[in-house]
Amino acid sequence: MITFIAPLWVGILVGFIIGAAAEAWGIGNPETLIRLAKWEDRLFVDCILLGVAIATPIMYGLYAAGVGFHWSPKALYLIGVGLGGLLFGVGLAISGYFPGSTWMALGEGRRDAIYAIFGGLVGAAAWTALFQTPAGQWLVSTLNFGSQVIGASHPAGKEYLVPWSGLTPIDLFGISLVYAAILFTIAYFLPRYKGGQRSCLRSTLRGQGLSDFERAKRLDTAMYLTYGGLPYDDKSIAKKLNEYWAVESNVTKFYMVSIGGIVGLTVVAEMFMHQIFGESTTYSWMAGHIFLPDFKYSQIVFKGIGWEPFSDIGTLLGSFFAAIFLTRRFTAFRKNIPPSWLKRFGDNETIRALGSFGGTALMMFGARMANGCASGHILSGLLQMSLSGWEFLIAVVIGMLVTARIVYGER
């Protein structure tokens, strides 16, 4: 088995790549994720589908060829993962943040990211306190089926898979090809923009052009992505990124496929280097050191922490680099309230700060309850064909859609 263990500081480089790529996507802007929760802009979904579909067969193919990976699918404890996913979705819809996107937003110079980070620490501390109670233990132990991927089990604490009876690594590679085809099919039928006339893949295959509705959506998206940012000229890379590539409704264009592939393959490289891609663990690590160093959950996190703090630093730096030199979206911590929030609650910054703080606290509490977030459960989890990742994703979608309908009042 071919293996390699990278030093922890390499996490900064990995985080830098992911942070810069995701900032170019627009994930650091809370409006992007609020629109996802409202199901108005499915860019994140389409790009994750493409990234996972590209990377999963590559990883399982290498595994079948004898390459070792740090397999890390999360345990499938049905109640805790499901409830945690619901809370994550509720908090996401309110705040507009994932754990990782808080660092991206800070790199973009977004003021409400500061409130979100403090909220994340409170949410992580709350789960640390609950974990060692009977209620916390019940959530993580009831209906716990261990770590499972499609076609194999993952022994606790180990870095290899045990294929289900009768299957081999070659069979898992075949399953991954079918899995990737299914994800591509979903992307085929899913338009980026709600109400769009074409889907991301069909537009390319059928040669369809932009509708007036999609042109309006592209303009609107470019406006909120660049609002409050730095100026750029007509011949700059920022103009292409903000007004053409990042707003493109056809994610099979070179830019979108490249970003999806870069993120997916970076996670594969990270697992090859025997590390895990996750963002929310850093919050528990910080909350443990600051508030609750002697609590049982803090001790578990201290013992198991890898390069997550380093990769979060890299995410912050990568986003900052992209926001200054590529997209020019750096807002220098000026007042900048997401348009969806502004339309519903007005421009009162205190109310937005409470929403950012409280929503992120709830989101982080759910992430730690489920033992993963958009990075550990959704991106790297789906890439590994993790069953808990799919349960978490479904719960997140339900939580965010219902909450967005209630909070923003749009149908």
Per-residue pLDDT of the chain (411 residues; tens, 9 = 90+): 677 788 888 889 989 999 998 999 899 999 999 999 999 999 888 888 888 999 999 999 999 999 989 898 999 999 999 999 999 999 999 999 999 999 999 999 999 999 999 999 999 999 999 999 999 999 999 999 999 999 999 997 777 899 999 899 999 999 999 999 999 888 878 888 887 655 555 555 555 667 788 889 989 999 999 999 999 999 999 999 999 888 887 666 666 677 778 888 888 988 888 777 778 999 999 999 999 999 999 999 999 888 899 999 999 999 999 999 999 999 999 999 999 999 999 999 999 999 999 999 999 999 999 999 988 899 999 999 999 999 999 999 999 999 999 999 865
Give the pLDDT score at 199: 54
Distance between start and end Cα atoms, the chain:
53
What is the value of pTM for the model shown? 0.94
pLDDT for the residue numbered 336? 95
Residue 339 to residue 157: CA distance in whole angstroms: 44
Q: Residue 135, by phi and psi: left (phi above 0), alpha (psi -120 to 50) or beta?
A: alpha
Cα separation of 81 and 229, whole Å? Answer: 38
